[in-house]
Structure 1
Amino acid sequence: MNNGNFQDRVAIVTGAGRGMGEAVARRLVAEGAHVCLVDRDTAAVEAVVKDLDADKAFAVTADVSDPDAIEAFVQAAVDRWGRLDMLHNNAGVTGRSGPALESDLDDLDLVFAVNFRATFVAIKAAVPHMMGRGGAIVNMSSLFGTRAARGMGLYGASKAAVIGLTRTLAVELAPSNIRVNTVAPGAIETELLRSSNAPLLKPGGPTYDERLKTHPMARAGTPKEAANLIVWLLGDEASFVNGSIYHVDGALGA
């Protein structure tokens, strides 16, 4: 726990309807923050908010591939609570799973619009509201943004771009006391992980669960385990951590 240092602070979490985004949002609210939960799935994000303190959480339905929608939910959070202290760019897509050169430009545009451009646009919209007070931004990359993975080429490229952006903005925003870090998960048990792996499984080959058993810890991580790291990076206990890449992958990338 961060000992309540999120009391009355305001956060935006994208992709908050399930998985890691949901786990981060729940943890922040539990520790006193006000959280704007963003997801393109209205039913999913509203179900999460319904289970939280109504004074500390509200849901916004938005597709982060739409820059206007991003600017709108950033402004909505500020209008509601008068400030913005934290941003977690979690929303993402894997795109087409398979050889990179079998993808087309529509595949590329979608993956980069959601995974990279949305991260850039959200930070650009959020930073003016953090000036003078400081803030913390955590972007979602991936283990595949730091190493190659067959069948995940465009996804990995988009996540590598997130890492590059994170490092640059950490330096540029440091004088304003706005920290920018990135988390690069390995196998975290989410719907996205299972759906992206399904096309890569070969008939007669190892199943999804059998493949997990070959990982160093012989399992996938949980969204809560990833959220523990993300929430720490958003809090004051990480006040001198800036421009860093944190792996939460059970030693898969070691």
Structure 2
Amino acid sequence: MAGALDIALVQTRTPATAQAGLDHVAPLIREAAAGGAKFVLTPEGTNLLEQRRDRRAAVLSSEDQDVAVLGLRRLAAELGVWLLIGSAIVRSGREGDDRAANRSLLIDDKGAVVARYDKLHVFDVNLPNGERYRESATVRPGDGAAVADTPWGRLGLTICYDIRFPHLHRQLAQAGASMIAVPAAFTAPTGEAHWETLLRARAIETGAFVLAPAQGGLHEDGRRTWGRSTVVGPWGEVIAKADHDQPCVLHAKLDMEAVAKARAAIPSLTHDRDFAPVR
């Protein structure tokens, strides 16, 4: 869709409970709306960040009962903005599986949930510095991609580790996404090494805006996240970037016509070819 869009990425350092998470992020969303943003995006784990399994189990709620989710839906309606809750850590609701869902929620300006996406790729890694993560132990991965309509164009939904899977982003773009959200809680070592490079690569490959609100700093559960929330244009240019890991609001204006121009210049999304598999 043609025209300009005022957005804001909210960078947070989310606490370990939903009420504290809401208290932390709500003033930043108000600041974003007061600055003119029509679409506000928050990071992965907006409601709570708690990787210690026993403590997380004690504070976990279902989506329809989570204090932060309910509060943010009301806030979107009050402010008259579209809001992407980059993700909320909530009960998955799957019988026989007590793991959580890591779920993006797109909220319209009336406070209604118009799209949901559960993180497809869970973060199971052993980092060179000795850090070890097994997100699959506490999070049930999703089983489908998601593209949602907004007043400004289609939005592709991803979460954090998904950024390392180019084929997902390609499918989102081929499904009409002109914007792709990458809410994240990137670790500090991988963020320093890979964050901006991956974001720019996905934007170049898809000819889409990549919108990446991030967690930043040292959290209550001991993890340290990278911050550096970033907006990348469809030609791969960094439009706006936070150069730190402190909580903040990052504003940007998107020229939605730039998507069509980038895709016309390099129409690689239409150039797929079948080929024999590697043997």
TM range (shorter): 0.3 to 0.5
Higher helix share: 1
TM-score w.r.t. length of structure 2:
0.37
Higher strand share: 2
TM-score w.r.t. length of structure 1:
0.39
